[in-house]
Amino acid sequence: TQLLKQSPQFLSIQEGENLTVYCNSSSVFSSLQWYRQEPGEGPVLLVTVVTGGEVKKLKRLTFQFGDARKDSSLHITAAQTGDTGLYLCAGAGGDDKIIFGKGTRLHILP
Amino acid sequence: NAGVTQTPKFRILKIGQSMTLQCTQDMNHNYMYWYRQDPGMGLKLIYYSVGAGITDKGEVPNGYNVSRSTTEDFPLRLELAAPSQTSVYFCASSNTIRGNYGYTFGSGTRLTVV
Protein backbone atom coordinates (compact mmCIF):
# COMPACT_ATOMS: atom_id res chain seq x y z
CA THR A 1 0.00 0.00 0.00
CA GLN A 2 1.42 3.35 -1.01
CA LEU A 3 1.38 6.00 1.69
CA LEU A 4 2.31 9.65 1.61
CA LYS A 5 3.39 11.12 4.92
CA GLN A 6 3.37 14.87 5.29
CA SER A 7 5.29 16.72 7.98
CA PRO A 8 4.83 18.65 10.05
CA GLN A 9 1.10 18.21 10.58
CA PHE A 10 0.80 21.77 11.89
CA LEU A 11 3.05 24.78 11.57
CA SER A 12 2.53 28.26 12.95
CA ILE A 13 5.15 30.91 12.20
CA GLN A 14 5.50 34.68 12.02
CA GLU A 15 5.06 36.59 8.81
CA GLY A 16 8.40 37.07 7.06
CA GLU A 17 9.94 33.78 8.19
CA ASN A 18 10.94 30.95 5.89
CA LEU A 19 9.58 27.42 6.15
CA THR A 20 9.78 24.00 4.56
CA VAL A 21 7.18 21.23 4.60
CA TYR A 22 7.76 17.69 3.49
CA CYS A 23 6.02 14.86 1.69
CA ASN A 24 7.61 11.42 2.02
CA SER A 25 6.93 7.89 0.87
CA SER A 26 8.67 4.57 0.54
CA SER A 27 7.14 4.20 -2.93
CA VAL A 28 8.14 5.71 -6.25
CA PHE A 29 5.72 8.11 -7.93
CA SER A 30 5.51 8.98 -11.61
CA SER A 31 4.44 12.49 -10.66
CA LEU A 32 3.66 14.48 -7.55
CA GLN A 33 1.28 17.37 -7.08
CA TRP A 34 0.98 20.07 -4.44
CA TYR A 35 -2.34 21.72 -3.59
CA ARG A 36 -3.38 24.51 -1.24
CA GLN A 37 -6.80 24.41 0.37
CA GLU A 38 -8.42 27.35 2.14
CA PRO A 39 -11.31 26.97 4.61
CA GLY A 40 -14.61 26.24 2.90
CA GLU A 41 -13.00 25.69 -0.49
CA GLY A 42 -11.66 22.81 -2.54
CA PRO A 43 -7.94 22.16 -3.04
CA VAL A 44 -6.29 24.26 -5.72
CA LEU A 45 -3.40 22.84 -7.72
CA LEU A 46 -0.12 24.70 -7.19
CA VAL A 47 2.33 22.58 -9.15
CA THR A 48 3.04 19.15 -10.62
CA VAL A 49 6.57 17.72 -10.66
CA VAL A 50 7.42 14.71 -12.80
CA THR A 51 11.20 14.37 -13.07
CA GLY A 52 13.48 13.21 -10.25
CA GLY A 53 15.44 16.19 -8.92
CA GLU A 54 13.10 18.67 -10.56
CA VAL A 55 12.77 22.10 -8.95
CA LYS A 56 9.87 24.43 -9.74
CA LYS A 57 9.33 27.94 -8.48
CA LEU A 58 6.05 29.75 -8.09
CA LYS A 59 6.86 33.26 -6.82
CA ARG A 60 7.99 32.70 -3.19
CA LEU A 61 7.21 28.96 -3.27
CA THR A 62 9.89 26.44 -4.31
CA PHE A 63 8.94 22.82 -4.95
CA GLN A 64 11.44 20.00 -5.23
CA PHE A 65 10.95 16.38 -6.29
CA GLY A 66 13.45 13.96 -4.80
CA ASP A 67 15.98 12.29 -7.09
CA ALA A 68 14.41 8.89 -6.44
CA ARG A 69 10.87 10.30 -6.92
CA LYS A 70 9.82 9.15 -3.45
CA ASP A 71 9.66 12.50 -1.70
CA SER A 72 9.08 16.18 -2.21
CA SER A 73 9.43 19.44 -0.35
CA LEU A 74 7.78 22.82 -0.45
CA HIS A 75 9.79 25.82 0.71
CA ILE A 76 8.16 29.20 1.30
CA THR A 77 10.37 32.27 1.49
CA ALA A 78 9.23 35.26 3.54
CA ALA A 79 5.84 33.80 4.43
CA GLN A 80 2.79 36.04 4.19
CA THR A 81 -0.59 35.77 5.92
CA GLY A 82 -2.07 34.88 2.54
CA ASP A 83 -0.04 31.65 2.58
CA THR A 84 -2.19 30.34 5.44
CA GLY A 85 -3.98 27.14 4.50
CA LEU A 86 -3.83 23.36 4.26
CA TYR A 87 -1.08 22.12 1.94
CA LEU A 88 -1.70 18.70 0.40
CA CYS A 89 0.65 16.57 -1.63
CA ALA A 90 -0.65 13.86 -3.97
CA GLY A 91 1.33 11.20 -5.77
CA ALA A 92 0.58 9.20 -8.90
CA GLY A 93 1.74 5.60 -8.58
CA GLY A 94 2.59 3.00 -11.17
CA ASP A 95 -1.02 1.87 -11.36
CA ASP A 96 -2.09 5.47 -12.09
CA LYS A 97 -3.77 5.69 -8.71
CA ILE A 98 -3.52 9.08 -7.06
CA ILE A 99 -3.07 9.09 -3.30
CA PHE A 100 -3.23 12.13 -1.06
CA GLY A 101 -1.27 12.91 2.06
CA LYS A 102 -3.15 14.14 5.13
CA GLY A 103 -1.75 17.63 4.73
CA THR A 104 0.22 20.26 6.59
CA ARG A 105 -1.90 22.98 8.17
CA LEU A 106 0.05 26.23 7.93
CA HIS A 107 -0.82 29.35 9.92
CA ILE A 108 1.10 32.55 9.27
CA LEU A 109 0.84 35.03 12.11
CA PRO A 110 0.75 38.77 11.28
CA ASN B 1 -15.25 29.54 -17.13
CA ALA B 2 -16.92 27.98 -14.08
CA GLY B 3 -14.70 24.85 -13.77
CA VAL B 4 -16.28 22.31 -11.40
CA THR B 5 -19.56 23.31 -9.77
CA GLN B 6 -21.02 21.48 -6.79
CA THR B 7 -24.44 21.88 -5.21
CA PRO B 8 -25.61 22.20 -2.52
CA LYS B 9 -22.92 23.89 -0.43
CA PHE B 10 -24.38 22.67 2.87
CA ARG B 11 -26.95 20.06 3.80
CA ILE B 12 -28.29 18.46 6.97
CA LEU B 13 -29.89 15.02 6.59
CA LYS B 14 -31.67 12.81 9.06
CA ILE B 15 -30.55 9.21 9.42
CA GLY B 16 -32.12 7.09 6.69
CA GLN B 17 -32.86 9.96 4.31
CA SER B 18 -31.52 10.06 0.76
CA MET B 19 -29.99 12.81 -1.29
CA THR B 20 -28.00 13.51 -4.43
CA LEU B 21 -24.93 15.69 -4.50
CA GLN B 22 -24.65 17.39 -7.85
CA CYS B 23 -21.42 17.96 -9.77
CA THR B 24 -20.96 19.47 -13.20
CA GLN B 25 -17.86 20.56 -15.11
CA ASP B 26 -17.53 22.69 -18.22
CA MET B 27 -13.96 21.83 -19.20
CA ASN B 28 -14.84 18.77 -21.31
CA HIS B 29 -12.78 16.56 -19.00
CA ASN B 30 -13.26 12.83 -19.43
CA TYR B 31 -12.19 11.92 -15.89
CA MET B 32 -14.27 12.78 -12.84
CA TYR B 33 -13.96 11.82 -9.18
CA TRP B 34 -15.77 12.00 -5.85
CA TYR B 35 -13.76 12.35 -2.64
CA ARG B 36 -14.70 12.75 0.97
CA GLN B 37 -12.54 14.70 3.38
CA ASP B 38 -12.67 14.06 7.11
CA PRO B 39 -10.65 16.07 9.65
CA GLY B 40 -7.05 14.84 9.83
CA MET B 41 -7.75 11.99 7.41
CA GLY B 42 -6.95 13.44 4.01
CA LEU B 43 -8.98 12.85 0.87
CA LYS B 44 -10.46 9.42 0.23
CA LEU B 45 -11.72 8.38 -3.19
CA ILE B 46 -15.35 7.23 -3.25
CA TYR B 47 -16.04 6.67 -6.95
CA TYR B 48 -14.53 7.75 -10.24
CA SER B 49 -15.43 7.79 -13.92
CA VAL B 50 -13.24 7.66 -17.01
CA GLY B 51 -15.99 8.78 -19.36
CA ALA B 52 -19.71 8.91 -19.95
CA GLY B 53 -21.32 5.59 -19.08
CA ILE B 54 -18.30 4.25 -17.18
CA THR B 55 -17.91 4.35 -13.41
CA ASP B 56 -15.83 2.42 -10.89
CA LYS B 57 -15.39 2.11 -7.15
CA GLY B 58 -12.70 3.88 -5.23
CA GLU B 59 -11.39 3.28 -1.75
CA VAL B 60 -14.61 3.92 0.24
CA PRO B 61 -17.67 3.25 -2.00
CA ASN B 62 -20.04 1.64 0.52
CA GLY B 63 -23.23 3.62 1.02
CA TYR B 64 -22.85 5.61 -2.20
CA ASN B 65 -23.80 5.31 -5.84
CA VAL B 66 -22.89 7.31 -8.93
CA SER B 67 -23.91 7.67 -12.55
CA ARG B 68 -22.30 9.35 -15.56
CA SER B 69 -24.83 9.88 -18.32
CA THR B 70 -22.99 12.86 -19.83
CA THR B 71 -19.41 14.11 -19.91
CA GLU B 72 -20.40 17.15 -17.85
CA ASP B 73 -22.34 15.63 -14.94
CA PHE B 74 -21.32 13.17 -12.22
CA PRO B 75 -23.89 13.06 -9.38
CA LEU B 76 -23.26 11.19 -6.13
CA ARG B 77 -26.22 9.48 -4.47
CA LEU B 78 -26.57 8.63 -0.78
CA GLU B 79 -29.44 6.18 -0.34
CA LEU B 80 -29.72 5.66 3.41
CA ALA B 81 -27.77 8.35 5.19
CA ALA B 82 -25.77 7.31 8.24
CA PRO B 83 -23.84 9.44 10.76
CA SER B 84 -20.60 7.97 9.38
CA GLN B 85 -21.33 9.83 6.14
CA THR B 86 -21.00 13.19 7.84
CA SER B 87 -18.13 14.72 5.90
CA VAL B 88 -17.12 17.27 3.29
CA TYR B 89 -17.53 15.94 -0.23
CA PHE B 90 -15.47 17.13 -3.17
CA CYS B 91 -15.97 16.49 -6.84
CA ALA B 92 -12.96 16.80 -9.14
CA SER B 93 -12.14 16.42 -12.81
CA SER B 94 -9.04 15.98 -14.93
CA ASN B 95 -8.07 15.75 -18.58
CA THR B 96 -5.52 12.96 -18.13
CA ILE B 97 -5.87 9.43 -16.93
CA ARG B 98 -6.40 9.37 -13.18
CA GLY B 99 -5.36 13.00 -12.90
CA ASN B 100 -1.62 12.47 -13.11
CA TYR B 101 -1.13 16.15 -13.94
CA GLY B 102 -3.57 17.62 -11.47
CA TYR B 103 -7.22 17.82 -10.62
CA THR B 104 -9.66 20.70 -10.68
CA PHE B 105 -11.80 20.53 -7.56
CA GLY B 106 -15.22 21.95 -6.80
CA SER B 107 -15.77 24.00 -3.66
CA GLY B 108 -17.33 21.10 -1.76
CA THR B 109 -20.56 20.05 -0.07
CA ARG B 110 -20.58 19.93 3.73
CA LEU B 111 -22.99 17.18 4.78
CA THR B 112 -24.14 16.52 8.32
CA VAL B 113 -26.20 13.42 9.13
CA VAL B 114 -28.10 13.61 12.43
pLDDT digits (tens, 9 = 90+) for B69-112: 999 999 999 989 999 999 999 999 998 876 667 899 999 999 99
**Which whole-number Å values give the CA distances from A91 to A3, A58, B64, in the listed order?**
9, 19, 25
* Cα first-last separation, chain A: 40
Cβ contacts of B103 on chain A, cutoff 8 Å: 33, 43, 45, 90, 98
**A30 vs B contacts (CB less than 8 Å):** 100
Count of alpha carbons within 13 Å of B94, Cβ hemisphere only?
A: 17
pLDDT value of position A92: 86
- What local confidence, expressed as pLDDT, does residue B98 receive? 64
Q: Which among B100, B104, B105 is the nearest to A30, CB-wise?
A: B100
Residue type, B111: L
Partners of residue A100 in chain B, C-beta under 8 Å: 42-43
pLDDT over threshold 60, residue A1: no
Residues of chain B that touch chain A, judged by Cβ-Cβ distance less than 8 Å: 4, 40-43, 45, 90, 92, 97-108
Q: pLDDT band at B39, cuts 50/70/90?
A: confident
Between the CA of residue A14 and those of A79, A108, B90, what are the distances in Å?
8, 6, 31
Instruction: Give the chain B residue nearest A42 (alpha carbons).
Output: B107
